[in-house]
Chain A
Amino acid sequence: MGKTLLDKIWDAHTVRVEEGGRCVLYIDRQYIHEVTSPVAFAGLERRGIGVARPSQITATADHNIPTENQHLPIEEPQSRHQVEALAANCAKYGIEHFGVGNPRQGIVHIIGPELGFTQPGMTIVCGDSHTSTHGALGAVAFGVGTSEVEMVFASQCILQTKPRTMRITVDGELRPGVEAKDVILYIISQITASGGTGYFIEFAGSTIRSLSMEGRMTVCNMSIECGARGGMIAPDEKTFAYLRGRERASQGEAFDAAVARWRELYSDPDAHFDKEYHFDAADIAPMITYGTNPGMGMPIDGTIPATADAKALEYMGFKAGERLLGKPIDYVFVGSCTNGRIEDLRRFAHLVKGRRKADGVTAWIVPGSKGVEAQARAEGLDRILADAGFALRQPGCSACLAMNADKIPAGKYSVSTSNRNFEGRQGPGARTMLAGIAVAAAAAVTGRITDPRELFEF
Chain B
Amino acid sequence: MAIPKFETFTSGAVPVEVENIDTDQIIPARFLKATERKGFGDNLFRDWRYDASGQVVATFPLNDPRYDGQILVAGRNFGCGSSREHAAWAIADYGFRVVVSSFFADIFRNNALNNGLLPVCVEESFLREIFDEIRRDPHAQFTVDLDNQRFTIVSSGHSVPFEIDAYKKRCLQNGYDDVDYLVSISDQIRAYEASRR
Determine the chain B residues whose CB is within 8 A of the CB of A127 once the complex forms.
Answer: 83, 85
State whether A428 touches B167 (Cβ < 8 A): no
Q: Which of A15, A36, A131, A198 contacts B84 (CB 8 A)?
A: A36
- 18 sample A-B contacts, Cβ–Cβ < 8 Å, listed by A number: A15-B185, A16-B185, A24-B185, A38-B35, A42-B35, A42-B36, A43-B1, A52-B186, A82-B33, A147-B85, A147-B111, A194-B103, A198-B106, A227-B80, A401-B29, A420-B22, A422-B25, A423-B24
In chain B, positions 150-186 with a C-beta closer than 8 Å to chain A are: 165-169, 178-183, 185-186
Contacts of A389 in B (CB 8 A): none
Report B's interface with A, CB cutoff 8 A.
Answer: 1, 18, 20, 22, 24-25, 28-30, 32-37, 47, 52, 76-77, 80-86, 88, 103, 105-107, 110-111, 114-115, 165-169, 178-183, 185-186, 188-189, 192-193
Asked if residues A159 and B178 are in contact (CB atoms below 8 Å), the reply is yes
Q: Which residue of B lies closest to A149 (CB)?
A: B85
| B110 touching A424, Cβ below 8 Å | no
B189 to A157, Cβ gap below 8 A?
Answer: yes
Contact A143 B107 (CB under 8 A): yes
CB pair A147 B52 closer than 8 Å: no
Check if A148 is an interface residue, CB within 8 A of chain B.
yes
The distance from the CB of A385 to the nearest CB of chain B, in whole angstroms, is 27
Beyond A15-B185, A36-B85, A38-B34, 20 extra complex contacts between A and B, CB < 8 Å: A15-B192, A26-B192, A39-B37, A43-B179, A47-B179, A49-B183, A52-B186, A81-B35, A129-B107, A146-B86, A146-B111, A147-B114, A147-B178, A155-B182, A158-B178, A194-B20, A197-B77, A197-B105, A293-B22, A402-B30
> Given A194-B20, A227-B106, A402-B29, are A143 and B83 neighbors across the interface (CB < 8 Å)?
yes
Q: Could you tell me the distance in whole angstroms from the C-beta of B117 to the nearest C-beta in chain A?
A: 11
Known: A38-B35, A39-B36. Contact between A428 and B189, CB under 8 A? no
- Does A197 contact B168, Cβ atoms closer than 8 Å? no
Beta-carbon contact of B189 and A148 below 8 Å:
no
Q: Which residues of A contact B82 (CB under 8 A)?
A: 128-129, 401, 420
Q: Is A374 an interface residue (CB 8 A)?
A: no
Q: How far is the CA of A156 from the CA of B182 in the complex (A)?
A: 9
Check A20 for interface membership: any CB of B closer than 8 A. yes
Q: A129-B107, A403-B29 are in contact. Are A151 and B178 (CB under 8 A)?
A: yes
Complex contact B165–A154 (CB within 8 A): no
B80 touches A293 (CB 8 A): yes
Q: Are B29 and A154 in contact (CB under 8 A)?
A: no
Segment 285-312 of A: residues with Cβ below 8 Å from B: 293, 311
Most B CB contacts (10 A, CB to CB) among A16, A160, A428 go to A428
Residue among A147, A151, A157 with the most chain B CB within 10 A?
Answer: A147
A458–chain B nearest beta-carbon distance, Å: 32
Closest-CB distance, A83 to chain B (whole angstroms) = 10
Q: Nearest chain A CB to B140's CB is how many angstroms away?
A: 25
Given A147-B178, A155-B179, are A422 and B24 also a contact pair (CB < 8 Å)?
A: yes
Contact B35 A26 (CB under 8 A): no
User: Given contacts A293-B20, A293-B80, A424-B24, are A429 and B52 in contact (CB under 8 A)?
Assistant: yes
Which of B1, B20, B29, B85 makes the CB contact (< 8 A) with A46?
Answer: B1
Alpha-carbon separation in the docked complex, A21 to B164 (Å): 11
Asked whether B80 lies within 8 Å of A159 as measured between CB atoms, the reply is no
A22-B167, A42-B36, A311-B18 given; A144·B186 CB < 8 A = no
A129 engages B20 (CB within 8 Å): no
CA distance A273 to B81 in the complex (A): 24
Q: Please state if B106 and A229 are interface contacts (CB–CB under 8 Å).
A: yes
Q: Enumerate chain A residues within 8 angstroms of B33, measured Cβ to Cβ.
A: 35, 64, 78-79, 81-82, 403
Complex Cα spacing A52 to B77, Å: 35
Cβ of A54 under 8 Å from chain B:
no
